[in-house]
Each structure stands twice: as C-alpha cells, then as structure tokens.
A and B are shown apart, each in its own frame.
Chain A
Amino acid sequence: MRSFTSQQKQLLLLLSPATLFLGIFFLGPLLIMAVYSFLEPGLYGGVEWNFYHWNYGRVLGWADGFYEEFDIVYLQILLRSAGLALVTVLVTLAFCYPVAFWISRMQSRWKSFCIFLIALPFFSSMIIRLYAWILILRDSGFANQILMSLGIISEPLDLMYSGTAVIIGMVYIFIPFMFLPVYSSVENLDPKLIKASQDLGATPFTTFRRVIFPMTLPGVVSGCILVFIPALGNFVVPAMLGGAKVVMIGNLVEQQFLAARNWPFGATLSMVMIVFMLLVVSVYLIRAMKNPQHS
C-alpha cells in the first residue's frame, strides 16, 4: 500500500466526512429516485422491482392505452408551470432592475439600509410571507374590503385561487433572489464607460442598449435562473394561493407521493421536471454567452 504524505492525510481528513455524508445522503437518494422512476408501481402503494418504462410513457406519449394511459395533461401542467415561472421571472426583473439603479445611486448609508430591507425577507419565514397575501387576497380579505368600501365593486372579487395570485406570491418570495445578483452587476458598472459612450454622442437610450444593459447581463441571467428554477418546481405557493385551480408540476409530484401513493410515477414526474429545467437553463445560458451584444 502506498503511504500518504502528511498533506494528503490532512486533505483526506478534511474531505472524507463531507464526502461520505453527501455521497450517502445526497447523491444516494437522487440516484435511487432516478432508479425508482424506472420501476413498476405496486398495487398498494409499494414498488415492484421490474424495469418499467411506462411511467415515462404516461407523461411523454408512448403508453399503449392498456397497461398505462398516456395523458397530455402532464405535459400541459409542465408547460403551464414553466409559463408561470417565466412570468414570475419577468415581473421580478421588471421590479428589481430599475430599483437596483435607484439604490446604487444612493449615499452609502442609505444604500446598505435598503439592501438590508430587501435581503431581510430572505431571513423570515416564507410561509408567513405567503400567509400575509392570503389575508389580502381572500374573499373577505383586505383588497376586497378596500375596493368595496371605495364603491368600485359591490361583490367580492375572486382574487385567490388564480394564476395571478400564484404569480404575486412567487414574485413576493423570490424578489431577493433576483435583486441581489442584478444589484451587484449594476453596482460594478464602470461609470467611465457610460461617460465615454455619452461623450461619443450616444443618446441615453443607445447608451443603455449598447453599454449598460450588456454589462449588467451576467447579473440579470443569474438572477433569472435563480428565480426560474425554484419557481418552476414550487408547490407551496400554488398549494396556498392557487388551490385546486392552479396546479403546478410540484403539486402533481406531491400528490403522487402523499395522496396517490404512486412513488415511481412521482419520481418520473420529477425526473422530467429536472431534465426540462436543465434544457431551459442551458439554452438560456448558451444564448447569453454567445451573443451578449444583441439584446
């Protein structure tokens, strides 16, 4: 046996606990989940150890209609979730991008205070922040009361249990994820380059389009990814604010595990979700890397 140098021994000592832990409790479960998605669901909620590709067939369309039915609804829900996640990304970006410029021009004391205020929700309970929106949006909630007392409406509006409510909820909880990367790229803008563009006769719009925006693009891209991924896989917001009307892919997965007890199919759905997510993100990343100038 080869003997280790003292450096190697230290490295081994530092790395092995985390390697063992993450290998067993992180990579292991993910691998098992991948295997599960190819197993046959048992009759009473268990699993049969046979290779079974119909789980994927049910979602992607090669079911024979005898053993398993293909249902387009799974793909529809996946696409709808992606749509909701995309709108969430765009709304958070529309909120955060101008505000990042506003804050970056403040005096440094105000600046750190504002960033503290934006980061603070990250430290407070997500479920409670969503609950605040339930109080506002439900039939007898704050929004309806205001609108009714102003005489704008006579009957309460159905604000809860809609796609809009889900988007509001997701925008609300994901704003810090978008703001922080966007802000750091805005803060790192070199004012000399903007000055140079102006001196060379560019209009403010051209300066923005050709200089400012491309330079903040890395922050925008990472903010978009940081919001898109958790939004796509979210199940708490639709469960709280979407009800039975707005079902996202995350709710479907949850149902398979906790209600329908078809674990292999639930594992399949989450595998499909991960692959879809990777595809979207990689397309996005490759585009952003290839042509940062054309915006």
Chain B
Amino acid sequence: MRKVFNHLLSGYGALFFIFLYAPVLLLIAYSFNSNPVNVMIWKDFTFDWYINLFGGTTSLKDDSAYVESTDQLLAALRVSLTVAAFATVISTVLGTSVAVALARYRFKLQGFYRVLLMIPMVMPDIVLGIALLIFFVGVGVNLGVTSIVIGHCTFLTSYVFLVVSARLAGMNPLIESASADLGASEWQTFRRVTLPLILPGVIGGALLSFIISMDDLVITYFISGVNSTTLPVFIMSMIRRGVKPEINAIATMMLVVSVLIASAGIYFRSRKTDS
C-alpha cells in the first residue's frame, strides 16, 4: 500500500517535470528545423535561422527569411541591456540602503517602509504600468529609456530590499559592535565590516534585478516609447505578427543565456555561504 503510494507520487512528480520542461525543450529542438512554412513539421536539421539572425548568408530563399528584423532585434537588445544596467545600479543602491536602515536602526516608520516595499511585489503589473504611463504623460516626460529605467526601479528596489534584508537578518550584529568597540568609526565599520558581510546579498539582489528587468514585459509595454522597445516587448510584437522560425532561434538563445545567468548566480551564492 505504502509502496504503491510512493510509486504513484514519483510518477506524478515525473509528470510535473515533463509538464514544466517539455514545452521549452520542444521549442529548442524545433529551432533547428529547416521547414520555413510550418515551424512544427520537422524537415531537416539546420543552423540557418541562427546564421540568419547574425546577418550571415544562408541557403534560404529571401522571402522565407526574416532578416529585416535583425537590426531592430539588436536595437531592442541594446535598449534592454541599457535599461537593465541603469535600473540595477539604482535599485541596488536604494534597496540596500533601506534594508540597512531597517535592520540597524529603530524608528517609528519601520512598518510603513516594510509595507511600502511589499506593495510593488504583490500588485498586478498592469496597474503600475498604467499608473506610470499616466504619470509620465501628465508630467511631460518623453517615453523612452529614462522612463523605463524609472519604472523598473519602482519594483526592483523591493526585490533588492528583500534579498539584502534576508542577508542582514542572518548576520550577527555583535560583529559590528566589536568593530565599534575596537575604535572604528561608523563609516569604517560600515565599509570594512557590514558591507563585506552583506555583499553576497547585495550581489544576489543586483543579479535578480538585472534578470527581472531584462524580462519585464507588462510595465515596459506601457511606458516604452516608439524608438525604445525592449527585447521582451519586441518579441511579443513579433509573435503577434505570426510564428516565424527566427523567433525559435531567438527564444533558444535567450533561454540559454538565462540558464547560464541563473546557474552562475546560484553557484556564486552557494560558494559564498560555504566560506
């Protein structure tokens, strides 16, 4: 009886992972399919869609290729990277400073700040997206990289805050007292003791921000201008225009990159906690 139950549970777990990974693996496999008309009917193995994306010449006829979007694609990637870089730096500074303030000082508004930083994470994206759109248009800020960076920072700050707070909570405050007792100034204590100790949290928060910023679709969709489309928004509009083999190739490359970043992040974290 118990054994049957355990087998059933394992089977269920296996199904769960198939559900989770089969669609994505299928997408990756079919990005090497040479059929230009129906991307899901297998013809031959080919790298052509990848070569096409990088502007290489392939055996494909011109009409089946989708090369004209390559420049737009690279432009979108550039916007995404620019936005993510700025948004990560700003939100890391903001989130870390609030986390340190809340963990190391006692003041009346603690509860207010905790709630304030929780709201962006539990609010539907679309609400923040339209609120920011109304705001930027009302104030007269042109929609573009700046508005996207600001928009991303409003919710990324919360993620950094959360990660750094967790790190601070696991830290022994006596170490800082010891540093002060040994005659270090407050700034020295912060720079030489506190900061190195919370650094893994700060880096983890920054990495998380970068990934979320690169992936954000909904908020960016509302506040990106005509000439500042980010990669996810660009891909969504591409998908809406129809399924093309190049999308599979782009998608596969993006999946590989995100797996690499996530693995690096987790490796980095586990290494830091060991030492």
Contact = CB atoms under 8 A, between A and B. Distances in A.
B88 to A, nearest CB: 15
B40 A140 contact: yes
Nearest to B190: A10
A220 interface: no
A274 to B, nearest CB: 6
Contact of B131 (A32, A101, A128, A273): A32
A240 B76 CA distance: 20
A172 to B, nearest CB: 7
Chain B interface SS verdict (over half) = helix
The residue in A29, A98, A232 that gathers the most chain B C-beta atoms within 10 A of its C-beta is A29
A14 B127 contact: no
Given A32-B131, A32-B135, A95-B16, A172 B23 contact: yes
A250 interface: yes
Interface stretch (A20-28, A209-217, A286-294): A20-28
B215 A18 contact: no
Interface string A186-213: 0000000000000000000000000000
Contacts of A126: 215, 217, 232
Contact of A99 (B12, B41, B119, B135): B12
A63 interface: no
B135 A240 contact: no
A15 B98 contact: yes
A127 B186 contact: no
A14 B151 CA distance: 21
The residue in A25, A128, A236 that gathers the most chain B C-beta atoms within 10 A of its C-beta is A128
A95 B98 contact: no
9 contacts: A17-B94, A103-B13, A128-B27, A131-B235, A131-B251, A133-B23, A145-B40, A229-B122, A239-B240
Shortest beta-carbon contacts, A-B, top 7: A233-B124, A29-B135, A29-B131, A132-B23, A123-B262, A14-B101, A124-B258
Interface string A251-277: 001100110000100110010011001
A124 B255 contact: yes
Contacts of B95: 18
Interface of B: 9-10, 12-13, 16-17, 19-21, 23-24, 26-27, 30, 38-41, 90, 93-95, 97-98, 100-101, 105, 107, 113, 116-117, 119-120, 122-128, 130-135, 138, 150-151, 153-154, 157, 186, 211, 214-215, 217-218, 222, 232, 235-236, 239-240, 243, 247-248, 251, 254-255, 258-259, 261-262, 265-266
Contacts of A26: 116, 119-120, 128, 154
Contacts of B127: 30, 33, 233, 270, 273-274
B5 to A, nearest CB: 9
Interface in A97-140: 98-99, 101-103, 114, 116-121, 123-129, 131-136, 138, 140
A36 interface: yes
Contacts of B150: 25
A235 B218 contact: yes
A123 B26 contact: no
A33 B131 contact: yes
A102 B217 contact: no
A23 to B, nearest CB: 9
Contacts of A22: 94, 116-117, 154, 157
A222 to B, nearest CB: 10
Interface in A19-69: 21-22, 25-30, 32-33, 36
A33 B135 CA distance: 8
A138 B123 CA distance: 31
The residue in A10, A116, A124, A172 that gathers the most chain B C-beta atoms within 10 A of its C-beta is A124
B26 A135 contact: yes
Contacts of A134: 239, 243
Nearest to A31: B131
Given A7-B105, A126-B217, A132 B27 contact: yes
A99 B134 contact: no
A218 interface: no
A139 B134 CA distance: 39
Given A25-B150, A95-B19, A124-B258, A132 B26 contact: yes
The residue in A125, A172, A277 that gathers the most chain B C-beta atoms within 10 A of its C-beta is A125
A6 interface: yes
Contacts of A225: 122
Contacts of B126: 233-235, 250, 253-254, 270
Given A142-B40, A270-B127, A132 B24 contact: yes
B98 A18 contact: yes
Contacts of A270: 126-127, 130
